[in-house]
Structure formats: C-alpha cells, structure tokens
Amino acid sequence: MLFPLLAVLLSGCAVSPSYYWQAASGQLDLLARSRPIDDVLQDAATPAALREQLQRARQVRRFASDALALPDNRSYSRYTALDRPFVSWNVFAADPLSMRLKEWCVPVAGCIGYLGYFDKADADARAAELRTQGFEVYVGGVPAYSTLGWFSDPLLSTFIAWPETEFARLLFHELTHQVAYVKDDTEFNESFATAVEEVGVLKWMGQPGKDGLRAGFDRAQAMRADFRALVLKYRGELQALYAGDLPPADKLARKAALIAALGDEYRQIKAERWNGYAGYDRWFAQPINNALLASVGVYTGKVPAFAALLGACGGDLPRFYREVKRLAALPLAERKRALTAAVCPS
C-alpha cells in the first residue's frame, strides 16, 4: 500500500492544499513519535510482549535484506506507538452502476483509486462529501503503508503484534515497493510486491525451527484465496450487469440480488469449507457496495507472471530485481509484453 502523502514533496495537483497539509503533518507526527528500537528495548517500562515482538521484527527485517536482497536501510529500525487502531484510513468511491474506482492524481504516485487520511474524522468528512455527489463510498483502515524510501518507515503498533507469517509478509511487501515503483501502474507495483512477499514468507518458514508455522499459513492462504475468488466472481457478474442494456432501475434491483447472493455464498463457504472460521464476518457485516468490492485486492493479477520471471531468473532475487527495474522503465504496452514473455537476460 502506498500513501499519497508523497504528493507534498512536489507542487500541486488534483487534490486540495488541505489534503497535502494533513498528509504532511500526519507523516511528520508519525516520525516525531518514533523511537529507536534499542531505546524501546532498553526501557524498563516496555511490556514483555512488545519486547518480544520488536526482537522478532528485527529478525524479520534482517532476513529481508540478507535472504531476500531487499533494501538495507533505516526503514523499520524505529518504533511508533499510536493511539488508534490504524495508521490511516483510505477513502474509495465508485458510481452506483460502475465497478471503476474514482481516481485522484497526485505527483510521484500518479493516479490512484483512493485518498488516504491520518485522521478518521477527515476521512469520514471526505466520504460524506462524495456521497452527496452520488458516489458509493467505502472507508477502510490501513495498518501500514510505504513511502517508497522517501522516509524511513517505522514499525507501528498497528501491526507489530500480528501473527509471525502475516507480519513477515507485510514487511517484505512494503520493502519491495522500495525496489521498483511505476507511476500509474498499480497492478505492476502490487503484483511485484505480492510475488516477493510470497517467496519471502516461504523462505522465512523454511528456516530451522519454523516448521510449526506452515499449517496455519497454508490455511490462511487457502481462505484468502477463497475470499478473493468469491469477491471476484460477484464483481465480474456486477460488471457484466452494468455493461448491459437493462434500464438503470432494473440494474439496481439485480445488483441488490447479486449482493444478497454474495452474502449467502460466503456463509455457505464459512460453514462448509472454513469450519465456521469468522475472521471475515466483519467485512461482510459492512454495507456491500461497489466501492468496497472494488477496493479488494484486484491488482495482483500479474503475480503469476512475476513468479514466472523469477523462475526464468533462476530464483536469483537480485537478478530478478534488476530485470523488474528494467521493465519498470518501459512504456506500458511494451512493459506488459515483456513481463508476459518471462525472459530474464543474463
């Protein structure tokens, strides 16, 4: 995930000055609150659980550079305790009869399908404004994001206590964004980071003493895949509906029926395949609309292509990164063709 605060580094664009101000002040507050991990570990007031989590985080961070050749810099060398459940909130918007997210264009990041806010009240205010304009809106909490190396991203209380494999995948993913980033090609960026994240977690679990992590990881992966497939199925049906020739009123009625069917199928999967696992109940308890459905990870369609490219590079991650950087510099159409070809120059 990228937070569009990078826009404050350059001159104006399609969002208001107040947006830039909240982004800049929020980032500065985040950095001002951060403390070196050593200081937190040496503080007698640090709870034992946090001490253990920070020590684990150090191991994951070191592994990221040593075993995955991810940037060896000051990112995740500090810790920030926040008094909120998420570091920021993203606002997504879509028309009632469209699955295309509204986009905002900012410098550096390019055009993105959300706006991020450090204060939930600000996010809710923007959401309310968008609703008055006729959009369906979703406001989603964000536990972590990448500043692409512009700042030394700290560890945050919003994700430090995550299960080991989930924590590791997040750190690998965000660090990968520092390796290569293409303006206006979210699918390329997110698919690349997800491909590295998946390889990284497998390598992490392959270390001595990590055997016990595999069963839980595989189960979580399977449920994640089930959830994504379910959402993609109904999103595809809704897209086909919106593109059809029915009158708008009929489309809205059919839309409501499809969303109800989505909930029914989720409950069936939960009972029959997940043994009652309720981890996705909160997601389905929200008002299901186009903005929410479109916000689900749809930008990972090129993960198999990146995996094939890594295979063509013999599993050599530094060589793979060099090729990804080369592809990142190509025009969009040429980049897509080259990625599909999965050829890794020697």
Asked whether the predicted pLDDT for residue 5 surpasses 80, the reply is no
Sign of the dihedral defined by the CA atoms of residues 21, 134, 93, 159, in that order:
positive
- Two tokens, residue 12: 């104006």
**How do residues 198-238 score in pLDDT, each as one tens digit?**
999 999 999 999 999 999 999 999 999 999 999 999 999 99
* pLDDT value of residue 12: 40
Asked whether the predicted pLDDT for residue 8 surpasses 50, the reply is no
**How do residues 331-345 score in pLDDT, each as one tens digit?**
999 999 999 999 998
The distance of Cα 194 from the centroid of its chain, to the nearest Å, equals 9
**How do residues 248-276 score in pLDDT, each as one tens digit?**
999 999 999 999 999 999 999 999 999 99
Whether the predicted model's global pTM rises above the 0.85 cut: yes
Task: Give the mean pLDDT of 289-306.
Answer: 88
| Helices 303-312 and 317-328, axial angle in degrees (round to 10) | 120
Residue 108's pLDDT band, with cuts at 50, 70 and 90, is: low
Residue 176's pLDDT band, with cuts at 50, 70 and 90, is: very high
Asked whether the predicted pLDDT for residue 305 surpasses 50, the reply is yes
The distance of Cα 89 from the centroid of its chain, to the nearest Å, equals 12
CA dihedral 113, 193, 184, 135 (to 10 degrees): -10
